[in-house]
Amino acid sequence: MNKLFDKIVVTGYSAITAAGIGTAPILLAHNEGCSALSSIPDNNSQQWGKAGFFKASDFMPPLKARKMDRSSQLATATAGLALKNAGIDIKTMDAERIGIAMGCGFCGVGNSSEFLTGYFNSGVEGLAPMLFPNTVSNAAASNASIEHGLKGPNITLVQRFCSAESAFLMACRFIENDQADIMLVGGIDELIPLIIEGLRSLGQHKTHAACFGEGCGIIILEKTESAHKRGAHIKASVDNICTIGMLPPDLESEGCKLLLGDCATIKHIGLSGTTTSTPALMNRLPESNCIDISTVVGRSLAMGATSMACLIDSIQCSENALHLAASPEGPYFSIRFKGGLSE
């Protein structure tokens, strides 16, 4: 699929990661060659990007925070920061025209583990009803929409390392089809020792799952007309989204040509997922400013949204940027942005 867009812009973004609040700490660490990764407890040979500083009570009342799982806390907090960055006050707008699309990897695993442990240890009486609503992958998007009063489309996608990109495409579709004027689109992942143990049992802890990170990145997509109407500052415009399912050896050149297109004017490239370990793509990249945030905050199945937010934060007005994401078995995504508004 290769789709051009000419009426969708980015008016806000934010992130919460191991590096801190917002995109600035990530970019600063990246530019200085620093890392926010830390040693995994009881396993000094491995690192992870744990957002240990994050306290939900800094963003919401403690009682409300207790009702959410960690993914929901991160998503709700980041959504609030992104809405503020975009200058959006939901109370003054039509909430039914504002939706959310999230990509996630292991959301709900922590609560699912605790919920099932109660059953295995004590039977039905050991089940905690309060935990159950947050055992599903779409809990984060649902809780964020409830907290911020979003009544438009609400969807969660899980598609390996391109989960956030898949959500991005879906959000653009909602806007293009006039089902929403504004979409919060992002990626969310939590990280607990149980996930690391599972990856280790699969033998992936030293390959694609090495240096996993947690956090949330959210971008505000908006109809150009809506953004102009409310006098929003436009950070970038969405130019094109291309996605393919696989890069088979005999069709690598054709697939890469579709994804990369004409890169002559590209000033910045954001890398996500397993792109850096995909030679077919890396060997064809132009000499541009490449931003790989996995070296700073780790890699996750939904880190693409944070990567895109950092890319958008890096481009100046009229500069062209390209976001690339890959999964070992596919899919592959390329998303083109232009700084400011494309006239």
Q: Are residues 221 and 252 in the same domain?
A: no
Residue 148 is assigned to a structural domain of this protein: yes
Instruction: Note whether 218 and 94 are same-domain residues.
Output: yes
Assess if residue 47 is contained within a domain. yes
62 with 140, same domain: the answer is yes
Here the CATH number for the domain that contains residue 128 is: 3.40.47.10
Q: pLDDT by residue (tens digit) across 189-225?
A: 998 888 888 878 877 767 777 788 999 999 999 999 9
- pLDDT digits 0-9 by tens, 235-278: 999 999 999 998 888 888 888 888 988 888 899 999 999 998 88
Residue 81: count of CB within 10 angstroms of its CB: 19
pLDDT band for 126, please (50, 70, 90 cuts). confident
Would the pLDDT of 115 be above 90? no
Both 115 and 31 in one domain: the answer is yes
Q: Are residues 208 and 253 in the same domain?
A: no
Enter the pTM of the model. 0.92
User: What tokens were used for 296?
Assistant: 């700073």
Average pLDDT, the chain: 90
Number of domains, the chain: 2
CA 34, 273, 269, 310 torsion: positive or negative? negative
Evaluate whether residue 1 is within a structural domain.
no
Q: Which domain holds residue 323?
A: 238-339
Rounded Cα distance between 160 and 100, Å, is: 19
Indicate if 23 and 59 belong to the same structural domain: yes
In this structure, are 151 and 277 located in the same domain? no
One domain, residues 192 and 256: no
95 assigned to some structural domain? yes
Domain boundary among 229, 253, 282: 229
Using an 8 Å Cβ cutoff, are 278 and 326 in contact? yes
Q: Which of the four pLDDT bands, split at 50, 70 and 90, describes residue 341?
A: low
Question: What CA–CA distance (Å, rounded) separates 167 from 15?
Answer: 16
> Cα dist. 95→20, 103, 169 in Å?
30, 21, 21
Asked whether residue 323 falls in the same domain as residue 293, the answer is yes
Quote the distance between the C-alpha of residue 282 and its chain's center: 22
Q: Are residues 242 and 215 in the same domain?
A: no
- Those residues with Cβ within 8 angstroms of residue 331's Cβ, 6 or more apart along the chain or in another chain: 159, 160, 162, 166, 243, 244, 245, 246
Q: How many other C-beta atoms are found inside a 10 Å radius of the C-beta of residue 206?
A: 12
In a domain? residue 170: yes
Q: Are 250 and 223 members of one domain?
A: no
Shared-domain flag, residues 244 and 221: no
Residue 117 counted as domain residue: yes
Listed residues 229, 254, 281: the one ending a domain: 229
Asked if the structure places residue 44 within a domain, the reply is yes
